[in-house]
Chains A and B, each alone.
Chain A
Amino acid sequence: MKRSPPILAAEQLTKHYPLKTAGFSRRSGIVRAVEDVSLTVLSGEVFGLVGESGCGKSTLGRVLLRLEAPTAGQVFFAGRNLGAFGSSQLKKFRREAQIIYQDPYSALNPRQKIGRLIEEPLSIHQVGTRRERLDRVHWLLDIVGLQPDHAQRYPHEFSGGQRQRIVIARALALNPKLLLADEPVSALDVSIQAQILNLLEGLRAEFGLTYIFISHDLSVIEHIADRVAVMYLGRLVEVGPKGKFYNQPIHPYSRALLSAAPIPDPTAQRNRVILTGDVPSAVNPPSGCAFHPRCPERRDICPTKVPTLRQISPGRWVSCHLR
């Protein structure tokens, strides 16, 4: 096991949103997007965050990077409490942690040439002279596999995969240590996904980056992550090293999730655990363990008490009454 200090640590992170009342409807309530999440991310690792829509993984990512303030709980970056940061410290923190977005088509200003686009973080933080910034932009274009003369073009002149490269170049402009990759390949064609995954992996190795990698695609996570965390309705249900997780998932939801993933091989053995029912709403979560209505192994205790995330073997954490 790597003995590196945690670059990011979250303690009992919670994020609730008030439900907006639209028009005349008097619906009120709270969306419990993230509920009591604690985790650590080690320097240099790829921390995979997996879950289906509505599980809160994107919200968790945003709160971890302090793009939004949590409702409760703390986040520590390199030992410092982000909650105690003033606005100028927060602005400096932006140089150390950046985001790669899911949708390359809307993440770039359509009216800006991409050279300016990539230079913008440098100009926001007033790094270097104009000349130095331009050199850095050319260097960034090069490391993501684009040409220097591309700097004069507009985003719409590029394909989806190329636009994602531009997004990555911009994210790296300030030399961050931590990157939040929020579904970075989900919007791309299958044949382009591999190119971008390779690029991300190569950059990580070359610059010693740390990734928090969010995806709903289990095969992508399996390829790139070192550790895997599974979320369900705002809570972590399982965390563990990749190999052990994929070999033998412990939580019933993890098992169902893995077994549901379609396998591109018609002859493969399928031990399908087909879950009944729909993903419940985060406004009205089920009592006790949020997964119990759909859990094939449900027992009497499950609807009554919320399970806690416990370490059941070195490095493996599960939140379930039955494990």
Chain B
Amino acid sequence: MRETVLEIKGLTTQFRTRRGVVTAVDGVDLTLGRGETLGIVGESGCGKSVTALSILGLLPKPAGKIASGRIFFDGRDLVTLREADLRHIRGNDISMIFQEPMTSLNPVYTVGFQIQEAIRKHRHMNKGASRTEAAKMLGLVGIPEPEMRIDDYPHQMSGGMRQRVMIAMALSCHPQIMIADEPTTALDVTIQAQILDLIGRLKDEIGMSVLLITHDLGVVAEISQRVMVMYAGKVVESANAEELFGNPAHPYTVSLFKSLPKIGGRKGTLEAIPGVVPSLLNLPKGCAFQERCFKAQSRCRQTPPWQEIRPSHRVRCWKPVDQ
């Protein structure tokens, strides 16, 4: 049994908008083990990114707020921490990489400067030592001739390289957890393969845990040990990767798999999920998926229970799909 490095209980995050209060994350539980990759998968608006931002206290203020729940890391509840303490954890113990490396990197500073900034802040090295360390990190993430590239500006690098720089920055302080929010969505498929491979290798070398957030089921299947599926703010299914892909139980997961065009898959019409994701301001009573669900019943108007149907395989559904 792995040691637990992050535990989230009942996280609820809300946003105040002009049209009312939106519950972007509704009662999410999550455990992340040491050295494990947990994939959080879902479509736009399901709350996966907001969950990640909540962990690090990066919600847009004043609109966004953690309404309730606890996030246990390193013996402390991150929800109750002061900003100063959170800042110490960010980039140091828990780091994050984002989808668009161009907008996450400061265009007026060199790449080396930005990595060194993170290193000097958290690891208290002097200028010379931090530069050497930064070059080492760039080499570690596979950037050729790192001692020369260290003085490049972000716009002088390609998308794939910039993402590597982001990873280097995220790893420079040897964090326990790396949160990767759609890290390869903006990248080409061949570069994506390189980056996923890199994340996997580094994770093993450093003994880091990874929280991978993505809408791409293929990416999740590539590198995750466990997977959580989110829909309209709630976790609807969670299991080991092989179990989830082999025996999906929640009707949303099942329908999603069926609607994917797959190389070598069945021909003919795809089994599309009818309808659209409901607006978070206008969720149906009970299960959010009922209006599109092929197994919907009247009971679905009551919030379904979170139940364990097989070892480590949990579903939020009244009538999960049988195998």
Direct contact of A and B (CB under 8 A): yes
In the complex, are the beta carbons of B193 and A260 less than 8 A apart? yes
Contact across chains for A191 and B193 when beta carbons are under 8 A apart:
no
- Please provide the chain B residues from 180 to 239 with a CB less than 8 Å away from any CB of chain A in the complex: 188-194, 196-197, 215-222, 224
Q: Which residue of A lies closest to B188 (CB)?
A: A52
A258 to B241 alpha-carbon distance, docked (Å): 22
Q: Are B158 and A279 in touch, CB under 8 angstroms?
A: yes
Cβ-neighbour of B262 out of A159, A197, A219, A274 (below 8 A): A219
Partner of A264, one of B188, B190, B245, B269: B245
Query: What is the CA–CA distance of A138 and B128 in the complex, to the nearest angstrom?
Result: 70
Knowing A191-B255, A218-B189, A262-B222 are in contact, say whether A267-B246 is a contact too (CB < 8 A). yes
The chain A residue with its CB closest to the CB of B218 is A262
Name the contact of A267 in the complex, choosing from B191, B192, B242, B261 (C-beta under 8 A): B242
CB-CB nearest 3 A-B residue pairs? A262-B218, A223-B261, A194-B272
Number of A-B contacts defined by CB within 8 Å = 135
Flag whether B161 is at the interface (Cβ < 8 A): yes
A-B contact pairs, 21 of them (CB 8 A): A190-B43, A190-B217, A194-B261, A194-B270, A195-B273, A198-B272, A216-B189, A219-B263, A219-B265, A222-B264, A260-B189, A261-B189, A262-B193, A262-B216, A262-B219, A263-B218, A264-B257, A264-B262, A265-B221, A266-B241, A268-B221
A interface residues, Cβ below 8 angstroms from B: 52-53, 159, 161-162, 189-195, 197-198, 201-202, 216, 218-220, 222-224, 246, 256-268, 272, 274-275, 277-279
Q: CA A197 – CA B217 in complex, angstroms?
A: 18
Question: A159–B276 contact, CB under 8 A?
Answer: yes
User: Residue B271 at the A interface, CB < 8 A?
Assistant: yes
Partner of B218, one of A189, A197, A202, A264: A264
One digit per residue, 1 when the CB lies within 8 angstroms of any chain A CB and 0 when it does not, for chain B 126-139 equals: 00000000000000
Q: Mark B38-55, 1 if CB is under 8 A from A, else 0.
A: 000001100000000000
Residues of A within 8 Å of B263, CB to CB, are 218-219, 222, 246, 258, 261, 263
Question: Is B160 part of the contact surface with A, judged by Cβ < 8 Å?
Answer: yes
- Give CA–CA (A216, B219) in the complex, Å: 15
Q: Which residue of A lies closest to B262 (CB)?
A: A219
- On whether the beta carbons of B215 and A190 are closer than 8 Å, the reply is yes
Contacts of A266 in B (CB 8 A): 221-222, 224, 241-242, 245
On chain A, the residues within 8 Å of B224 by CB distance are: 266
Please, which residues of chain A bring their CB within 8 A of the CB of B257?
A: 264
B277 touches A189 (CB 8 A): yes
A195 and B193: CB pair below 8 A? no
Given A266-B245, A278-B160, does the pair A219, B261 have CB atoms closer than 8 Å? yes
Say yes or no for B104: interface residue by CB 8 A criterion. no
Give the docked Cα–Cα distance between A272 and B218 (Å): 14
Q: CB of B5 within 8 A of chain A?
A: no
Known contacts A223-B261, A223-B265, A246-B263; A190 and B256 CB within 8 A of each other:
yes
- In whole angstroms, what is the CA distance A137 to B274 when docked? 24
The residue of chain B having its C-beta at the shortest distance from the C-beta of A270 within the complex is: B222
Which residues 56-112 of B sit at the A interface, judged by CB distance below 8 A? none
Q: What residue in chain B is nearest A279 (Cβ atoms)?
A: B188
Task: Indicate the member of B161, B194, B274 with the most A CB atoms within 10 Å.
Answer: B194
C-beta contact mask, B241-268 vs A, less than 8 Å → 1, else 0?
1100110000000011101111111010
* A-chain residues with CB within 8 Å of residue B144 when the two chains form the complex: 277
Residues of B near A194 (CB, < 8 A) are 259-261, 270-273
The distance from the CB of A217 to the nearest CB of chain B, in whole angstroms, is 8
Determine the residue in chain A with the shortest Cβ distance to B222: A262
Known: A262-B192, A267-B246. 4 other contacts (CB 8 A): A195-B274, A218-B189, A219-B261, A278-B158
Closest to A192 in B: B276
Residue in B158, B190, B221, B267 whose CB lies within 8 Å of A263: B221
Q: Which residue of A lies closest to B269 (CB)?
A: A198
| Cβ–Cβ < 8 Å partners of A192 in chain B | 272, 276
Closest partner residue, chain A, to B214 (CB atom): A262
CA distance A201 to B221 in the complex (A): 28
Residues A274 and B197 in contact, CB atoms below 8 Å apart: yes
CA distance A195 to B158 in the complex (A): 34
Neighbouring A residues of B221 by C-beta, 8 Å: 262-266, 268
A220 to B43, CA, bound (A): 18
With a CB–CB cut-off of 8 A, which chain A residues contact B246?
267
> In the assembled complex, which residues on chain A have CB atoms less than 8 Å from the CB atom of B272?
191-192, 194-195, 197-198
Taking a contact as CB atoms closer than 8 A, the residue among B44, B216, B220, B261 that contacts A220 in the complex is: B261
**What residues of chain B lie closer than 8 Å to A53, measured between beta carbons?**
159, 188
Q: For residue A161, which residues in chain B have a CB less than 8 angstroms away from its CB?
A: 276
For A195, what are the chain B residues with a Cβ–Cβ distance below 8 Å? 272-274
Q: Are B189 and A191 in contact (CB under 8 A)?
A: no
The 8 Å CB contact of B161, one of A261, A262, A272, A278, is A278
Q: Quick one: closest A residue to B224, CB to CB?
A: A266
B191 in contact with A198 (CB, 8 Å): no
Q: Is the CB of A279 within 8 A of B191?
A: yes
* A197 lies within 8 A of B193 (CB): no
Query: In whole angstroms, how far apart are the Cα atoms of A235 and B193 in the complex?
Result: 23
Minimum distance in angstroms from A132 CB to a CB of chain B: 32
Smallest CB separation, A264 vs chain B (Å): 4
